[in-house]
Structure 1
């Protein structure tokens, strides 16, 4: 599945998703009500196609992209153990993973400390494993949105 197909699949799969695009990155936000100020748009997933923000995954290779998503800390820990510390400067977390490897769910090379995970070019089987994690990330965003929106009323 290419990056554009994946982007469409995510918006079809998850309700209330708005996709913002900047610097060849897609930001997937839960934002079901256009009347709510844009301040409430916080991505629960991103789809990155360039090395503009980090070079850990070598996304400059033709056709390579990375899907990133934020999961609950307990989910991250069940998959990978304790979250590493944030890397210093423009560094990469040291988890022992090859962040250039395709079709493998792994910690995010920068944001693993915040329970973000990633996968480069997920194949059909890997995407099936990612679906519940996407649903979880989306659910976190829905709860955050509802909590913030409720405060404004």
Structure 2
């Protein structure tokens, strides 16, 4: 390490233990994907962390020899990135993806049957504060999305999630009254009585929606990969509700025509 004008080196504890354990000693290095808490965005696909981000949807280990060639991530002292020397001297790498990218979640939702996405923009007349937010529907009815991915606070209305933090977004889901009560222990109409029980800015946690909980919406700020199984379960519920609404509307239209 360079300290001022002096290059210093020393023998670490691992080197001492390795000399005692021999082949029983293994070196596992850590790797980090994205971290909104540290202000670290998603890694480029060509970096070591980017390669691992693509290999692993959940935190997990990879043999260092299986990573293959890649380039070093930009170093800004919030995180010491992997480089070829580190990987060459490691037996395995433990990669923590940390956050699920908003585009990955959007693709997951769009893979459900009959889903269409509306991306808020200047061109479709959306307010500027919502540009870039995603709204997901089943069928042509655009009155009620069953899921949204939003990246902006709405001043004076929806600021509790603190979405103005760098890289932070929120997934919102229509849970329905029954699932909402099962998850949170009270019905949507009783939300205001329990509002003080929740930290709506907390990351990676299923919470009542700070503004639409009374309509049975839940939300997750920056869901991590370990949340994906639960997200898929809740998405299935929300999608089924939207599909049922669409089919009821289609039946009513058919009946009126007849």
Name the count of aligned residue pairs: 140
1:10 is displaced (CA, Å) by: 1.4
Pairing 1:101-120 to 2, within 5 Å after superposition: 101-120=202-221
Q: Deviations over 1:44-103 (max 9, x none)?
A: 01111011361110101111000001112111111112224576xxxxx71411111110
Counterpart residue number, 1:80:
184
1:20 is displaced (CA, Å) by: 0.5
Counterpart residue number, 1:2:
101
Structure showing greater relative contact order (alpha-carbon pairs closer than 8 Å, 6 or more residues apart): 1
Counterpart residue number, 1:29:
137
Q: State the alpha-carbon separation in 1 of the partners of residues 116 and 208 from structure 2.
A: 24
| TM superposition score normalised by structure 1 | 0.85
Aligned-partner SS, 2:199? coil
Counterpart residue number, 1:62:
166
CA RMSD in angstroms comes to 1.6
User: CA 1:86–1:103 in 2, change beyond 3 Å: closer, same or farther?
Assistant: closer
Please list every run of 5 or more consecutive structure 1 residues that lacks an aligned counterpart in the other structure.
Answer: 32-37, 88-92
2:236 is matched with which residue: 124, 129, 135?
Answer: 135
User: CA 1:21–1:85 in 2, change beyond 3 Å: closer, same or farther?
Assistant: farther
Q: State the alpha-carbon separation in 2 of the partners of residues 104 and 134 from structure 1.
A: 15
| TM superposition score normalised by structure 2 | 0.51
Q: State the alpha-carbon separation in 1 of the partners of residues 161 and 233 from structure 2.
A: 24
Counterpart residue number, 2:201:
100
Counterpart residue number, 1:19:
117
User: CA 1:146–1:79 in 2, change beyond 3 Å: closer, same or farther?
Assistant: same
Aligned-partner SS, 2:230? helix
Larger-gyration structure (1/2): 2
Counterpart residue number, 1:35:
none
